[in-house]
A and B are shown apart, each in its own frame.
Chain A
Amino acid sequence: MIAQLRSELFKLRTTRATVTVLLWMLGLILLVVLLHVFALNANDLRKASNQPKVYGWGTSIGALFAALLGAISVTGEIRTGMIRPTLLATPNRALVIAAKVCAAAQAGVLVGLVAEALVSGIASAGLGARGIHITLTAGDFVQMLAGGAAAAALWAVIGTGVGAIVKNQVGAVVGLCVWLLLIESILIGDAPSAAKFTPGASAGALAGMIQNASAGGLLAPALGALLLIGYAAIATTAGLIAAERRDIN
Chain B
Amino acid sequence: MHENDARSTLDLNVSEGNLSAGEPAVSVRELTKRYGEVVAVDALTFSLRPGTITGFLGPNGAGKTTTLRLLLGLARPTAGEALVFGRLYRELVRPAHRVGAVLESNDFDPGRSGRNHLRALGLATSIPYARVDDLLELVELGAAANRPVGTYSLGMRQRLGLATALLGDPELLVLDEPANGLDAAGVHWLRGFLHQFAAENRTVLISSHILAEVAQTVDQVLIIANGRKLATVQMNELAGGAGSLEALYLELTAKAAA
* Docked complex Cα distance between A4 and B119 (Å): 12
**How near does chain B come to A21, taking the closest CB pair, in angstroms?**
12
Selecting from A6-14, A143-151, A196-204, A226-234, the interface stretch reads A6-14
Given the interface pairs A15-B112, A82-B108, the reply to whether A6 lies near B123 with Cβ below 8 Å is: yes
Interface size of A by Cβ–Cβ distance < 8 Å?
Answer: 28
Residues on the B chain within 8 Å of A87, using CB? 73-74
Whether the pair A247, B75 counts as a contact (CB closer than 8 A) is yes
Q: Of B104, B109, B126, which one neighbours A15 at CB under 8 angstroms?
A: B109
Q: Which of A11, A16, A17, A248 has the most CB of B within 10 A?
A: A11
Residues A7 and B107 in contact, CB atoms below 8 Å apart: no
In the complex, are the beta carbons of A88 and B123 less than 8 A apart?
no
Is A89's CB under 8 angstroms from B125's CB? yes
Interface size of B by Cβ–Cβ distance < 8 Å? 33
Across the interface, do B75 and A3 meet the contact criterion of CB distance under 8 Å? no
Give complex CA distance A108, B76 in Å: 34
Q: Shortest beta-carbon distance, A224 to chain B, in Å? A: 35
A6 cross-chain contacts in B, Cβ below 8 A? 123-124
A135 touches B (CB below 8 Å): no
Instruction: Tell me the number of A-to-B contacts counted with CB atoms below 8 Å.
Output: 88
- Which residues in chain B, 61-112, are within 8 Å of chain A measured between CB atoms? 69, 72-76, 89-90, 92, 95-96, 99, 101, 103-104, 106-112
* A15 contacts B111, C-beta separation under 8 Å: yes
Minimum CB–CB distance from A235 to chain B (whole Å) comes to: 23
B132 nearest CB across to chain A (Å)? 12
Contacts A3-B124, A89-B124; A82 near B111 (Cβ below 8 A)? no
On chain A, the residues within 8 Å of B109 by CB distance are 11, 14-17, 76-77, 80, 82
For the complex, is B116 an interface residue (Cβ under 8 Å from A)?
A: yes
Interface string of B106-143 (1 = CB under 8 A from A): 11111111001001110111100000000000000000
Q: List 5 A-B contacts (CB under 8 A).
A: A3-B124, A80-B109, A82-B108, A85-B121, A88-B95
